[in-house]
Amino acid sequence: MNQTTPTAAPLSPTKEGSPLSLANLLTYARIVAVPIVAACLFGFAVLEGGLWLRWVALVIFIAAAVTDWLDGWVARTYGQFSKLGRMLDPIADKLLVASCLLMLAVDETIRGWTLWAAIIILCREILVSGLREYLAEVRVSVPVSKLARWKTMLQLVAVGFLIAGPAGDRVLPYTSQIGIGLLWISALLTLYTGYDYFRASSRHLVGN
């Protein structure tokens, strides 16, 4: 088994951290950022606001993306693990990426065949979330692999380029095209890590 393949293992009880720990507060902040970024993109696409809205959305998105790394670091460094944090952290990531992909489709930054890359990402995340919920009921955990973490990071970078979109094109030519290319690469990684996840948990699906 290679290092990128997650292994399903029974859940073990851990000491519960505070819901108001710094790690959890960072996760909450990422969730709060979701409607703000979406509102900025909506203001540009639907309300025909200025390009400055793309920059505001990008700054908030980057800050939210940084908390994805920072909350995990704080939790590991200061032992601020909690069931609430473990539940909300992947949800926050999915909300941030999914809402941005939907708004980017609305303003046609993502269009044509590239919509399939977004669909692949969204469908995989929904399916894996459902599988995680099922496995939690039978007290089985499938740790996130290193490749899955890279997949999430690449998704965030791709979405960041796409949020900059036409505003970024004026500063760095082909910003939108770079974002589209990265989105396709992350979609392929999404497919592979999704397969890896289902393979690691398949014996629990068959045996229950």
Q: Between helices 114-137 and 175-207, what is the axis angle to 10°? A: 30
- pLDDT tens per residue across span 41-79: 999 989 888 999 999 999 999 999 999 889 888 888 888
Q: Which CATH number fits domain 17-207: 3.40.50.2300, 3.90.1150.10, 1.20.120.1760, 1.10.630.10?
A: 1.20.120.1760
Q: Which of 107, 22, 26, 118 is nearest to 63 (CA)?
A: 26
pLDDT of residue 8: 47
8 A C-beta contact, residue 118 and residue 101? yes
Q: Which two tokens stand for residue 121?
A: 């990402």
Note the pLDDT tens digit of each residue in 129-163: 778 777 767 666 666 678 888 888 999 999 999 99
Polymer length in residues for the chain: 208
List the domain boundaries for the chain.
Answer: 17-207
Residue 9: pLDDT above 80?
no
What is the pLDDT, as a whole number, of residue 48?
86
- The whole-angstrom separation of Cα 71 and Cα 55 is 24
Query: Could you tell me which of 144, 184, 167 has the C-alpha nearest to residue 8?
Result: 144
- pLDDT tens for 70-124 read 988 888 888 888 878 788 888 888 899 999 999 999 999 999 999 999 999 999 8
User: Are the C-beta atoms of 65 and 9 separated by less than 8 Å?
Assistant: no
CA distance 147 to 150: 5
